[in-house]
Amino acid sequence: MSAYLNIAMIIISVALILVVLLQSQGRNFSGAFSNDQSVVRTRRGLEKTLFQATLVLAVVFILVAILSARQG
């Protein structure tokens, strides 16, 4: 069972890294120079999907890590 959890953690971590990298590619330098407090922005489309996927993968990764710690 421990081997399956280790493989699952590797797959989930790679997917999480890819989703985070995809999110960071969507940002440009204009946001760094503007005041973010004055602009109300909502996530839409692909950005919203990537954000939700990041949250789901992070929660699943934490749960698998807890299960893996209990096994070993």
Q: What is the dihedral of CA 5, 8, 10, 16, to 10 degrees?
A: -130
Torsions phi, psi of 16, nearest 5? -65, -40
Domain limits for position 9:
2-27+46-71
pLDDT tens for the 72 residues of the chain, in order = 889 999 999 999 999 999 999 988 766 544 555 555 556 577 788 889 999 999 999 999 999 999 999 986
Inside any domain, residue 34: no
Nearest alpha carbon to residue 54 among 23, 10, 28, 27: 23
Inside any domain, residue 32: no
Give pTM, 2 decimals.
0.75
Inside any domain, residue 35: no
What is the identity of the amino acid at 64?
V
